[in-house]
Amino acid sequence: MIIREASFLSSNTQVAACPAPDRPEYAFIGRSNVGKSSLINMLTGRLGLAKTSSTPGKTQVINHFNINNEWYLVDLPGYGYAKVSKSSRADWGKMINAYLTKRENLTCVCVLLDSRHAPQAVDLEFMEKLGEAGVPFIMIFTKTDKQSTSQTKALLADYLTKMGETWDELPRHFVTSAETGLGRDEVLDFITEINR
């Protein structure tokens, strides 16, 4: 896929206020600091398109981007901040739940996972929730340039074993680096394939 157009559209806290659901939508989410902004910027080839949202307590919003006037890329607020209050965690839960269950054009959730960290309960639980809600998702492993290929392979094997305990069919997964551009073509080809 050639990215001809990638522009910011809107930030919303209400699903009903999001752009008209008239095209496929891909939402990116993960723990804070997982590399979400960097990955979005790498995929779209637009440095600074997604801003880092890793300041705890910052307003949590659903950010829509227009890609090629063909699909929406959505930057969702991350989870797993250590310092977030109970009430903002509850607000996050409500908003994300509403988004995942009500956004009718949501095509696929891209769950970002740091390739250096062993499977974490918060990520596994989030993916279980997606499964229960019947939302299709893929796993995107980030920051693979920070370690050797064999370390990434070992981590992936760990993850897939762990996921195999819950899932009959394992979700598609992609190995990426925002630093080197690894995985860019694969993720964009996957989106092209689904949009066809």
Residue nearest to ligand GDP (CB): 35
Token pair belonging to 176 = 């990426």
Instruction: Provide the minimum distance between the beta carbon of 110 and ligand GDP in the complex, in angstroms, as a whole number.
Output: 12
Residue 184 makes contact with ligand GDP by CB under 6 A: no
Q: Output the six-digit token pair for 162.
A: 């762990």
Establish if 177 lies at the interface with ligand GDP (CB under 6 A): yes
**If binding is defined by CB under 6 A, does position 179 make contact with ligand GDP?**
yes
Which ranges of the chain does DSSP label H, i.e. alpha helix? Answer: 36-44, 86-102, 121-133, 149-164, 184-195
29, 38, 110, 127: which one binds ligand GDP (CB under 6 A): 38
Q: Which one of 6, 15, 32, 127 is in contact with ligand GDP (CB under 6 A)?
A: 32
The type of residue at 9 is: L
**Are the C-beta atoms of residues 87 and 3 closer than 8 Å to each other?**
no
Region of 118 on the Ramachandran plot (φ > 0 left; ψ -120 to 50 alpha; else beta): beta
Span interacting with ligand GDP, options 11-19, 121-129, 140-148, 183-191, rule CB under 6 A: 140-148
Binding piece for ligand GDP, criterion CB under 6 A, among 63-71, 102-110, 122-130, 141-149: 141-149
* Nearest to 107, CA basis, from 68, 138, 66: 138
Between 43 and 78, name the residue whose CB sits nearer to ligand GDP. Answer: 78
- Helix 149-164, helix 121-133: angle, nearest 10: 50
- Which residues here bind ligand GDP, judged by CB under 6 A? 32-38, 52-54, 78, 142-143, 145-146, 177-179
